Each structure stands twice: as structure tokens, then as C-alpha cells.
A and B are shown apart, each in its own frame.
Chain A
Amino acid sequence: MKLNMMFNCEEAGHVCDKAQYNEASLWEKLLLTIHTLFCRLCKKHTKRNAKLTKAIKKSEIQTLSTEQKRSLKEHLRQEMTQ
């Protein structure tokens, strides 16, 4: 935890990323908000980053599990060696 009130952009970017996965603390989020009041670039980036999170959530995208992929690979490999 940083007690310094000022973030640099790199730290702001990191907190912003963590916030997308609900891993940023309240304090970090507060510092990020303060930073974005002064830094237009980070403000823009924060907005885009949040949009990406929203889009992925909204899409309800599904992936095959590692197990399922393994079995697909196994199938394919068997066929390739024949």
C-alpha cells in the first residue's frame, strides 16, 4: 500500500488492471481516481480498460476446459499418426 498521495502513470495503469479483476483495494482505487483527475491519458486508458472488461463480461464467452482440449488434441494426434 502506498501512502504517497501521488501515483505515477505506471502505478495507475497497474491498479487499473487490478481493478478490472476486483483485486484493487479501496485505497488504491481512490488514488487511481485522484490520479485520473489530473492525467487525461490515464483517464482515457481507464475508461477503455473498463469497456474491455464490460464487453468480455457481456459477451458471456465460453472456453473449452483444458481437459476437453486435451481430449481433442488426443483425437487429432491419433488420426495424424495413422
Chain B
Amino acid sequence: MNESLYNQHMPSHSLHPETWVDRYSDYLYNYTIVRVNDHIVAQDLISETFLAGLKSKKNFKGNASERTWLIAILKRKIIDHYRKKNSKKGQAEVHINYTDDDMEGDWLEERVKDPYYKSAEDKLENSELRLAILECLDTLDERHAAIFKMKTIDNFDTEAICNEYNITPSNLWVIIHRARKAMANCLEKNWL
């Protein structure tokens, strides 16, 4: 925890590309997926972002945090993605045909609000919540964050996590307890 706090509060930031995937890939993924809505595309954009970050490493002035800087690159990648997609327009047009004779009237039913429908506002709030959760995770000790993520978000068995990290279940629960406390503290202001 000390190290990540240290990084965050340093007046001038530095880049550590070897830690990017572990620290930021989930954040970038959740940021991207609401914007492109395609898993494969999202993954490609993240990969491109990391590579672009590496290439323009010397342009990094240290005014922003690593994450903010990567997000700035990612934003441009997402815009580029839509530009490219737009220039291919016409090739992938979707034809919705509601005038078929034997379909007469059916479309009305199709358009009835479905019970799982979420308002745009809910979706927006959720995507912000996701990013807040990941930001908080980043303030935790790296190993604790990884274990908490496996247990809580990826729903791995206790046993599987213990094997992976070579710890006992009671070690695991101590880590989970600390991580949950820290997460609740961190999220408390805006979300809990």
C-alpha cells in the first residue's frame, strides 16, 4: 500500500510499463467496453493503447498520473476506431424490416419495454461505479488487490486462490477482511 500511495502523491509521476497490464488493464477495459460494446474491439484498443504509450514514453511530462495519461491515449484510440468504422459505412448496414406482411403488428410487441431494461442514467452511474471500484483497488497493496479481485469479482473458490498464492484459507480471510475494510473506506464518500 505504501508504494502505491507514494506513487499517487508524488508531485511528478513516472511511467512503469511493466506494471501497466496488472494495474490498469481492468480499468481501461471497463472504460472501453461501455464505449465500444464489443469485447474483442475493446481488447485490441487496450493493447494498442499500451503500445502507443510505450512509443510516446518520452512525451510523458509527469503532470498527470499514469492512468490519466493512458486514458487520454485510449480516448484517441476509441475516436479513431469510430472514424475507421464510419469510413466503412454502408458495408455493414442493418436492415430492419417491419413492413413484412406476415409480421404485421408484431413490432408493437417487440417494442414493449422489457423488464430488464435499464435506463441510460443507471448504466452511466454503473460505469462510473465500476471505475471508482477499480480506482480504489489500485490504492490497495498489489497482492491484496489481486486476491480481493479474484475472490469478489471473479468469484474464484477459496481453494483455488489459496493454491495460486500459496496461502492458507485463514491467511486469505485476513487479507479479504483488510481489503474489504479499505475498499469500504475508499468508496464510502461517493458510493456506499
Q: Which residues of B contact A (CB under 8 A)?
A: 17-18, 20-22, 25-26, 29-30, 33, 43, 46-47, 50-51, 54-55, 126, 129-130, 133-134, 149, 151-154, 158, 173, 176-177, 180, 183-184, 187-188, 191-192
Total cross-chain contacts (CB, 8 A): 91
B54 with A76: CB separation less than 8 A? yes
Where chain A touches its partner, the secondary structure class is: helix
Structural contact, B129 and A75, CB atoms closer than 8 A: no
| Complex contacts, B29 vs chain A, CB 8 Å | 62-64
7 A-B pairs with the lowest CB-CB distances in the bound complex, closest first:
A59-B129, A61-B130, A51-B192, A59-B130, A63-B26, A73-B21, A52-B184
The residues of A with any CB-CB pair to B shorter than 8 Å are: 13-14, 17-18, 20-21, 23, 48-49, 51-53, 55-56, 58-64, 68-69, 72-73, 75-76, 79-80
Contact check, A62 vs B184: say whether CB atoms are below 8 A apart: no
Q: Collect the chain A residues with CB atoms within 8 Å of residue B54's CB.
A: 76, 79-80
Q: Is the CB of A48 within 8 A of B184?
A: yes
In the bound complex, residues from chain B placing their C-beta under 8 Å from that of A59 are 126, 129-130, 133
Contact of A72 with B21 in the complex, beta carbons under 8 Å: yes
* Assembly CA distance A61 to B132 (angstroms): 10
